[in-house]
Amino acid sequence: MKSFSYERVATAAEAASALGRTKGAKIIAGGTNLLDLMKLGIEAPDHLVDVNGLGLDKIEETAEGGLRIGTLVRNTDMAADARIRADYPLLTRAVLAGASGQLRNKATTGGNLLQRTRCPYFYDTAMPCNKRKPGSGCAALSGASRQLAVIGGSEACIATYPGDMAVAMRALDAAVETVRADGTTRSIPLDQFYHLPGTSPDVENDLAADELITHVTLPAPVGGEQTYTKIRDRASYAFALVSVAVIRHSDGSGRVAFGGMAPKPWRAEEADAAMAKGAEAVTEIAFAGANPTEDNAFKLPLAQRALAKILHGKGE
């Protein structure tokens, strides 16, 4: 592991300032992803900014009737919060589907949103990867791609976003709140927060170099039956081949978002309008323009069948 400097900060503004001041700086909170990447030589930050002292570890109610989740809220605490369990059960189910209990005890809201892909070529420093080393190429395009994207990829990258929490948050229309070194703040809808790879797979989200996530906001509860189904190669501690987040109302309307299919949580709002017509109609719209490889073409019918199972009342 390369040597690095380290500092603790007391405010979000200090953290953003430290990011802007030192090129190559990274935020560390739970460290459940970053430390692994540093050990493997994939991430090599010059400076670590410890944000555990910021106090952003609360879940608060908003004036609009939703919830504001601090960036340092641990995944275990989020999933166990009585308000989230009652009004946003989709989020609880998605969080509990991820990682292990020990990791959820450490992992934070902001860190979860920013976790890196688990594409095997991203993790293999002997192989070309445009996400890890821009301009080097994408070994996945001609390699093993079973776990990788069927839609939203490009000739530069077909890696998938690996998380569960963000898939549920995408279905719930969450927004990410940030602060910059100059004190300016903004709210970024989650559908705009993540970037598709295009020609710049290394640019994964909308954050500026000196910008820090402070909160995630959830709108007022939308009700309905909420289900998160995750299909993976083993029952625990595995990333999704396909995951499906569904909010369904008694009149047949609803929302659906997918994980494991694209470089970001995948939702096509126009597909929501087809919920009453069934899984085939939804997935036909949601995955229009899909470009799967021979290795991962199975994901498309798998996503449809997973959604069909939920819509027929058997999903959990």
| pLDDT single digits (tens) 184-224 | 999 999 999 999 999 999 999 999 999 999 999 999 999 99
Task: Report the C-alpha gap between 182 and 20 in whole angstroms.
Answer: 10
Helix, strand, coil percentages for the chain (3-state, nearest 5): 30, 20, 50
Q: What is the pLDDT of residues 154-190, one digit of tens each?
A: 999 999 999 999 999 999 999 999 999 999 999 999 9
The predicted structure's pLDDT at residue 236:
84
Q: What pLDDT, in 10s, does the model give residues 87-127?
A: 999 999 999 999 999 999 999 999 999 999 999 999 999 99
Type of residue at 148 = L
150: CB partners within 8 A, 6+ apart: 261, 262, 287, 290, 291, 292, 293, 296, 297, 299, 300
State the chain's mean pLDDT as an integer.
96
- Secondary structure E strands in 175-285: 175-180, 185-189, 211-218, 225-231, 242-248, 254-259
Residue 241 has pLDDT above 50, yes or no: yes
The pLDDT value recorded for residue 109 is 98
What is the model's pLDDT at position 78? Answer: 98
pLDDT of residue 315: 46
Residues 6+ apart with CB under 8 A from 269: none
CA–CA gap between residue 132 and residue 143 (Å, rounded): 17
Written as one letter, the residue type at 132 is R
pLDDT for 66: 98
